[in-house]
Every structure is written in C-alpha cells, then in structure tokens.
Structure 1
C-alpha cells in the first residue's frame, strides 16, 4: 500500500529523467518498486504524488489514513513519473516527534475531537474508528494556532487558575489560623474551669489538651500539605505557560497545539486537587464545660466536649451590588417544525454565542445562535423535555420527567445529536452539572440525587420537610441551590445534603442561574420579576421587574447578559428569548 511521504526509487528519481528502454518508459507502482516486485501503475494519488499498482490503488481507497485522498485512474493519471511531496506543511518549523504514551514507538499525529485526546496511528486504528470518532491530522488543523484565541484563552485560564489556587491556599491558611486561635481560647477556658475543681482533674485536663493539640497538628499538617501542593502546582502551571509561550514564539504549531491540549488536562487536574484540598473540614472550636462533673467528679469520664462549626469555604454573605440594566433585544425561537406556542422551560450557554434551550410544548431542544439571532438547529425528542445543563464543551444532559430519563446530547458540526440515555427512578425535573457530577431534582416524592456520568447514584437526599416541588436546581463547588414554587423558597444545601441556607422572600420561584461572583438569579413567575439573591441566601434584590411571567433564566458572565424566557400563554412573549444587559 502506498504511504504518503515515501521517496521514489533511484531509477525513478525525476519526472524528467530520460528512459533508456521501452521498459523504462513504462510507469511502475512506486511503493512496490521500493520494497517488492516491479508492477505496472494502475492509477495515481494526487495527495501522495505516487503512482500505484492495482492492489495499492484499491488499498489506498480503504485505508483510514488515505481514504480521503484524491485518486486518478490509468486514463487520467500523469504519464510521467512525479516527484513525491515530502510534506504539505514544509513551512512549519516543528515536526511531529512526541511519542505516544500507550505506544512509545509511535509519534502523536492525530487529535480526536469527540474524546479530546491526542493520538498516534495505532490509537486511531484500535480505539477511534471513523464510524464513531471525528479524528483530524494535527498539521491539517494546527495552521492557525499561533497567536490564536485558543492560545490566548489557555494562557489566560492558566494564569487565572494559578491565582485562584493561590487565593484558596490563603483562605485555608486564614481559616487554619482562626481555628488554631479558637483552640487556644478553648484551652484557656478549660484551664479556668480546671481551677474550680481539685487536683484529681489533672489527668482529664491533659487528655483534653492532647485532643486539642492533636487537632492543631492535623490542621497544621493539612496547611503544610496545601502549601506544598500549591508550590508544586504553581511550578507545573508556570512550566506549562512558559512552554506554550516559547512554542508560540517559535511558531511550532503542532507542539503548541499538543501543549495547549495537555494544559487543558493540567487545569482539570488542578481543579481535582482543589476539590481534594477543600475536602478537609477545618473547624472552629470552643469549650463547653460539664457542670455535672462538680457533683459527680468520681463517676464522670470527661472534662467536657470540644464543639465546633465548620467554616464555609465559599458563598459567604455577599453584598449584592446595584446593577445598571438595559434591554438588549429579543430573539425569536419559533421554527417551522413547531406545532404549538413555545414553552421554554430550560436553557444553558454552551459558549457566549450559543444558547441551548428546551421547548416543552414542541418536544424539542433548540440551538440558538446569538450573533445571527436565529435557531440554527432543532432536535426532536421522544418525549417532553424540562431542564438542560452543560456537561462538557460538546455534551449536554436533558431531563425527560414523564419518561423518567436523562437524555444525553452531543454537538458536532453545529448539529444536535441524541446520544445515550440514563434511566432514573422518578420524575426528574431540575438538572445541573459540576465537575463530572449531575445533580437532579425529583417530584413525587420530592428528593435530590447526585449521579456520576455513568448514571450511578452517589447520594440521595430525602426532600421530606425540605421540598415539595423542587422544579429547578443549580450548583457550584460548595453549594446546591433548589427553587421550590410551593414552599416559595430557594434552599441552599451542601454536597452532603445538609441545609445551610434558605431565602423566602419570593412568591413563586422558578428557573435559576448562578452568576460569576456566586450570587443566584431567580425568576419569580408570580411577581413578574427576576431577583438576585446572595450566595448564602441571606439577602435578595430585584434586578428586573415588570416582566411577562419569567420562567427560565441564564447568565453569561463574559458578556454580562441575562437571558430569560416567558410563560404568559401569549406568543408575542413566549416565542422569544429576552436579553438584558446588566452591569
């Protein structure tokens, strides 16, 4: 089989070489001429610039690496031998020399758009077939990577991630100092209480001190680990940033492309380490004396207890700033496929220019192009959808409450494509994704469940005495927010299912969206307003009023725009996505 880039044999080294005999005037298969018997040419590949025998010509059409090449038959092929092209990318200063981790003898040359992986030819053949994956040859797609938006965005994200991690370590340090300080106060209280009783309490006092010092040692150990982790990650991020800058400066597009993809993985790893770092509960301690010990000193076995409250590492009380609002425009989402008036119950931003919405009445998911102000694609579902969330940059998840199913949808070439489904054990409504975990709200009975991407239930939170109709849900690193139109509340829980806040200043809360600074935008359908509440659910402020039954809402931090839908049973409102600029 012909392989692009092979050199012609010496006797066919030039298209202008004079042939000494009739045999030499015959055009032969160049690949076979190098490694096997000389066979007459049956055709020609314009990409490889090689003449091919019948077997090589046939194989060339089915090989994954050459099936898209342009072939010419014997009638149309060049009648003189052509010089093979060494590379269509000879202007690039770098070459593909990075070995594959799975197959060290092979170089990375391809990129799978579906799995976001760098691949060698063996990976492509064994794991990423054309029938299931969209694979590109790196030199074919890396031409515009130098000084590209992706290059700028990755650098910006690397720097932002480094700053965020530094701030987190500072927060942990401050909380540790406060925790240690509270322990000292508790120990002082223990000593004061100790003075009121006799020498027999010496042993119990030492036990209490040892317990407190043990906690302090664990705190300091965690702080030291956090600082060490930060130093390691900072070095890694800086190395990645420096490499990206150097490769960009030296115009090494292939290596820059791969380095950027590796940087994306590094950023994801940093986020995972951040979660691990913050999983350690740092507590504030105080001492509560045991008064019974004064009367029953001989029978009591403890001097008292160290009670605590956990520091919340995110969503502390935030003063909601005043915002300037202006109506930007509205976009019609009605299409020729629709049978009924639109009822937009869910929406999520895939990119600042691409909004994905669920149309309950028309059993559809629609892709809205913000720049063209139109629906660019519509996917019909098997049943009515309710809410939608972004899972990855190319994947979405939609709840189908009547079918008790979560439908996964991918996006390829600006088209919505149905993928797999996950069956759940209830009427699923609200859905939100954070770092590979799906949080879903249910009715009849009311509850929350946390899933991994395979549909495995990680946590179930019983909604008894908490929710009645938890229609919508949104989440971040430390909090899960649930809007309940019957309870007239927005409830905040931690990821263990404990209620840690509640806002009851609304009449009929519906759709929600988190802002970039941790506040929550909530549609109040009955009051015709959109309200912004603080991350700890302590305060709220109306940001948009005199609306027409606002239902679903979505915030774009990059453009500072708020998108919302209406359910007024009136086509002049419900068939549109309404956009406001908030600053």
Structure 2
C-alpha cells in the first residue's frame, strides 16, 4: 500500500519503462524524483511499489506509517522502474493545498495531536516518528468534523471572543461617556464657585476649562483607537465565522478542519489583544473647590483641582454588594479506596458541573460531578497534593510540596484524569494559580512567590521579606496577585512586578481563596469559622458566611452563584464533605 499522505507515483505506459539515455538507464529514487531531484535507488519497497534512495530507504524503516513495509536492498530490488497499479495509488485531496512552513515544497497532510501541529510527510519522518506521537492523516480524521462538537465549540469560541471585544468597546464607550459627563459636572461646579469670586478668577477658570478639554480630547483619541481595533477584529472574526459555517455547510471537511484549528490559534492570540485593550486607564473627574480662595484670592494661584478616579471593573469592587445566602447541601467525597479521612486542601472549577479537588491525606485528585453530587473519577498520585489550578479546558496543575514540584494532569474526552509531566520549583510549593499562560506559585521556608511559564522556567521571583511570612494560597487576575498569609493574618495584594498595592488585615487565620465574577475575593478564615468577601483593592471586607465548620479551601461558581468549601476539623468526619451555599 502507499505511504499515507504520499503523492501518487508518476504514471508510465507499461509495467516497465524503456530508457533512452545513459541517465535514464539508472534506476532512481521515485519519491525524490517527484520533488525534482533524481538520486540513485538504494532499495525498493514492495508495499509502496517504489524505488528509494539511501535517505528515503532509511527513513522508511523508522516512519511509523512505513516501518512494517517489506523492503528490498540494492541487490534484491527490481532493476527497472515499476508502475504501481491504479488500485494502490493515493490521490492527494484537492483541499490539502497548504504548504508546509518548514518544507515549502511539501503540502500539509498530517496533524499531530500531541504537539497540536500541522505536518507534511517530511515533518513526520524527521520529527514525529516516535511511537508516543499520535499523528493522523487529515483526510482520515476530518470526516467527523462536520457538525461535530469541536466545530460547535470553536465556532462558539470565535463568537464569544467577538462578543468580548464588543463588550470592551461598550465598556470603554460607557466609561468615556461617564468621564466626559463628570467633566461637564465639574465645569458646572466651577461655574457656581466662580460666581462667588471676582473678575480675578476669569483667567483661572479658562485654565481649568482648557485642562478639561485636553483630557476630553485624550479620551476621544483613546476611544477612537479602541473602537477601530474592536471593529477590525470583530469584522475579521465575522469573516472567519462565516467561512467556517460555509465550509461546514458545503461539507469541505479538510478545509474546515484546518480553518477551525487556525481559528483556535487566532483566538488564543486575541487574548493578548484583549488584555491590552482591557488595561485602559480612563479617569473620572470631580472638581474640588478651594474654600479659602475668597479670602486669599490675591495670593492663590489655582481655582482648585480635578481629582481622578480610575473607571474599570476593579474600581467598582470596592463596594461589596449585599448577598443573600442559603445552605444547598453537602457532597460526600469519600470513596471506597480511601485509606484516611479526607483533607481537601484545594479545588478548581472546570465547568459548573465539574469540580476538581485535591485530597491531601489520601494523596489523590478527585473529579466531583456537582450535578449528581458524587466523585466520578480519581487519580492516585505519588505524594501529598496541596493546591490545584485549571491550566486549560483539559489540563490542570497541582502542587506537591514535599517533592517541591508541580504535577500537570490531563483530562481525556471521556473525563479520565491522567498524570503528565512535572516541573521542579525552588522550594516547598503550596498555593498555585494560572493566569494567561503563567503559573503563580507560593513557597514556604523561605516565603516567596514564583511566576513560571508552562515549561517551568522561572520568569519572576518575589522575595517575601517584609511582605509575607507564610503564604499558603494564591489567586490572581489581570492586575493583582492575592496572597493569604496565616502567620501575618492578612491577605496581601501585589501587582505582577511584586509591588504591594493593598492589604487586608482584619483576619484571624486566612487560608483558601477564590475570585468572584465581580472582582472581589472570597477568603476562608479558619480561626473565625467564617468566609469573608473582600474588595478587589483590599480596602473593605464583609462576612458572607459564618458559624461554619473550620473552612479550609473555597471555590466560587459565578454562573450558578454557588460557593463550595471544605473544612479541616482535626480528623473529624466533616472533612469528608464539601459544603454548598447559594449566594445571590
């Protein structure tokens, strides 16, 4: 049979070919000849019905698609070129016309699931021949992509990303309007204040108006830039979405497969653009009058000041809204294979129906189905895990403090947990959180934070000296990294450069944390038996649940408005349960 993805051999007029010159009398490598290079044949493959040069002959032995083929060496191979029968020829799909970026003369024909890469035949031979690499010939797998779940997921992701850009544009418009409106209000206050003083203030008033106009122009300029970017990206995503739908409708599976994968990568690239756009810095302005100006008008040099307050979602979080709480029940996470009472030290939510938890005492990771309220799967580890974070939709990362490593875990399509690779960190790692492809890990003895990439490369180290002493848990967003410190009895807020930008100290023994969809932080206070919600800037806090059973880890689901927490009660069987509260 023909090598998957290989072009069909050239056709001849008979089973043997007559040679008309000294060069043609030589039996040559047929694959190389198809690519424009004529090399002497070193052997022959009876399955592919092709003569092969020394390089192709050796590659044939290790390529996973051809290593079982029957090969003849130079002494045993046919002495004339053979014409393959029509039944064994492979015709390259008309859709497979994308050149390989590494080998421009070759077309993309394969897809490596392990490396999520498109490959040509040369790539497969040289770089992906290991048995651990799962390589598929695109026409063999693309047929199932029409109307598939993956098609729907990626199309939804395209639309969701487009919606995010539209939402950012709407937010910037709203805040710009509010900023400009606040400037108008400030100018009204200036007018009122101006009426109480004499002509001397005319010049100062003009200066204040000019300053406001400059700010307004800057707002308009910034809004225009954001508007242009969002509209261009939205238009591009609309074109991509329409193309994907068209390919799906016309059943062009190969092109649809490639476009879907490319769209998936494009969406990832868009996250960086979203991050840049969402880091807008638009100010709200108020005028503060100078009360002593009436008495000191001859000596004062300013009419007042325009104060500024940043308008973004985080600034809203300083006001913690009132919540109504109700106990929704418990989930038993004890299994028949557990040897000890559970100790749930970390949890992360994959979907509203899937909660992943770490059981420190039983040295495993458990998948909890919140719909059926049962443990649906578990993975035994080789050491005690502490905290866990979601890295991707099918990947997790767990800290193993005693091994000083982070263990990566994959989730298969049938929702089975499987250990992947590990990365070493420089100490006993406890808290962990992933944001925008970066892992933030807290270490104890000595206390410090590390920011790592997915390969374990340390990008930043934040020394805990004079900042925190015993950092157990971490959570983070675009602007802030929050650290709970049970020794300092604080939740410390840092920026991504390691600078302290806030602290909340009204705590007894803060442990597990979880960010809410409003930008606030839920914090377990083990000593006070409460869960407290603190503002994103760490300026205020409010107890949302009290009289609890020594809360340890916590997880918030913004979609269902449910809060899950575990407890640590010194070998009390309450530890075998997750407790569920609705907070509306």
TM-score by length of 2: 0.74
SS at 2:237's partner residue? Answer: helix
Cα shift at 1:204: 3.8
Change in Cα spacing, 1:197 to 1:353, as seen in structure 2 (3 Å) is: closer
What is the CA–CA distance in structure 2 between the aligned matches of 1:68 and 1:323, rounded to whole Å?
63
- The aligned counterpart of 1:77 is none
Match of 2:69 among 71, 82, 101: 71
For the Cα contact (< 8 Å) 2:564–2:578, is it kept in 1? Answer: yes
Cα shift at 1:415: 2.9
Matches within 5 A, 1:121-136: 121=121, 130=130, 134-136=134-136
What is the CA–CA distance in structure 2 between the aligned matches of 1:460 and 1:179, rounded to whole Å?
39
Cα shift at 1:246: 1.2
SS at 1:380's partner residue? Answer: coil
- The aligned counterpart of 1:281 is 281
For the Cα contact (< 8 Å) 2:407–2:419, is it kept in 1? Answer: no
- The aligned counterpart of 1:513 is 514
For the Cα contact (< 8 Å) 1:452–1:458, is it kept in 2? Answer: no
What is the CA–CA distance in structure 2 between the aligned matches of 1:40 and 1:281, rounded to whole Å?
68
- The aligned counterpart of 1:476 is 477
What is the CA–CA distance in structure 2 between the aligned matches of 1:203 and 1:214, rounded to whole Å?
17
Per-residue CA deviation, residues 75-102 of structure 1 (Å, 9 max, x unaligned), is: xxxxx97545344997xxx621223456
What is the CA–CA distance in structure 1 between the aligned matches of 2:236 and 2:201, rounded to whole Å?
52
* 1:223 lines up with 2:223 in the alignment: yes
Aligned length: 545
Cα shift at 1:216: 1.0
SS at 1:472's partner residue? Answer: strand
Cα shift at 1:461: 8.3
What is the CA–CA distance in structure 2 between the aligned matches of 1:201 and 1:356, rounded to whole Å?
65
RMSD after superposition: 4.8
| Structure 2 alignment gaps of length 5 or more | 17-26, 73-82
Which is worse superposed, 372-381 or 144-153? Answer: 372-381
What is the CA–CA distance in structure 2 between the aligned matches of 1:334 and 1:521, rounded to whole Å?
32
Cα shift at 1:219: 1.0
Change in Cα spacing, 1:397 to 1:217, as seen in structure 2 (3 Å) is: same
Change in Cα spacing, 1:226 to 1:132, as seen in structure 2 (3 Å) is: farther
SS at 1:308's partner residue? Answer: strand
Cα shift at 1:430: 2.0
Cα shift at 1:431: 2.0
What is the CA–CA distance in structure 1 between the aligned matches of 2:438 and 2:33, rounded to whole Å?
55
Which is worse superposed, 228-237 or 435-444? Answer: 435-444
For the Cα contact (< 8 Å) 1:142–1:253, is it kept in 2? Answer: yes
Cα shift at 1:218: 0.9
* 1:260 lines up with 2:260 in the alignment: yes
Cα shift at 1:9: 4.6
Per-residue CA deviation, residues 16-68 of structure 1 (Å, 9 max, x unaligned), is: xxxxxxxxxxxx999489888998986633xx5x366796995354354x545
Change in Cα spacing, 1:128 to 1:299, as seen in structure 2 (3 Å) is: farther
Per-residue CA deviation, residues 507-533 of structure 1 (Å, 9 max, x unaligned), is: 544223345565655445456676777
Change in Cα spacing, 1:306 to 1:130, as seen in structure 2 (3 Å) is: farther
For the Cα contact (< 8 Å) 1:448–1:463, is it kept in 2? Answer: no
SS at 1:95's partner residue? Answer: coil
* 1:325 lines up with 2:324 in the alignment: no
What is the CA–CA distance in structure 2 between the aligned matches of 1:516 and 1:304, rounded to whole Å?
38
Cα shift at 1:306: 1.9
SS at 1:332's partner residue? Answer: coil
SS at 1:96's partner residue? Answer: coil
For the Cα contact (< 8 Å) 1:282–1:311, is it kept in 2? Answer: yes
Per-residue CA deviation, residues 215-270 of structure 1 (Å, 9 max, x unaligned), is: 11111111122222221122122112111211111222222222222222332333
For the Cα contact (< 8 Å) 1:357–1:366, is it kept in 2? Answer: yes
* 1:243 lines up with 2:243 in the alignment: yes
Per-residue CA deviation, residues 391-430 of structure 1 (Å, 9 max, x unaligned), is: 3345544445567x5636253875312343343xx76532
What is the CA–CA distance in structure 1 between the aligned matches of 2:52 and 2:448, rounded to whole Å?
67
Which is worse superposed, 452-461 or 206-215? Answer: 452-461
| Structure 1 alignment gaps of length 5 or more | 15-27, 75-79
Change in Cα spacing, 1:528 to 1:142, as seen in structure 2 (3 Å) is: farther
Change in Cα spacing, 1:415 to 1:402, as seen in structure 2 (3 Å) is: closer
SS at 1:233's partner residue? Answer: helix
Cα shift at 1:148: 1.4
Change in Cα spacing, 1:374 to 1:447, as seen in structure 2 (3 Å) is: same
- The aligned counterpart of 1:541 is 544
* 1:437 lines up with 2:435 in the alignment: no
- The aligned counterpart of 1:366 is 365
For the Cα contact (< 8 Å) 1:561–1:579, is it kept in 2? Answer: no
What is the CA–CA distance in structure 1 between the aligned matches of 2:32 and 2:110, rounded to whole Å?
29
Per-residue CA deviation, residues 441-491 of structure 1 (Å, 9 max, x unaligned), is: 455676666556542228778764xx6644222223455444444566656
What is the CA–CA distance in structure 2 between the aligned matches of 1:57 and 1:117, rounded to whole Å?
23
Cα shift at 1:214: 1.1
- The aligned counterpart of 1:59 is 58
For the Cα contact (< 8 Å) 2:8–2:91, is it kept in 1? Answer: no
Per-residue CA deviation, residues 295-341 of structure 1 (Å, 9 max, x unaligned), is: 66666554432221212324644453555724455352856xx7x76
- The aligned counterpart of 1:18 is none
SS at 2:513's partner residue? Answer: strand
TM-score by length of 1: 0.74
- The aligned counterpart of 1:44 is 46
For the Cα contact (< 8 Å) 1:512–1:552, is it kept in 2? Answer: yes
* 1:407 lines up with 2:410 in the alignment: no
What is the CA–CA distance in structure 2 between the aligned matches of 1:566 and 1:43, rounded to whole Å?
66
For the Cα contact (< 8 Å) 2:145–2:256, is it kept in 1? Answer: yes
What is the CA–CA distance in structure 1 between the aligned matches of 2:285 and 2:105, rounded to whole Å?
58
What is the CA–CA distance in structure 2 between the aligned matches of 1:279 and 1:374, rounded to whole Å?
40
What is the CA–CA distance in structure 2 between the aligned matches of 1:85 and 1:490, rounded to whole Å?
69
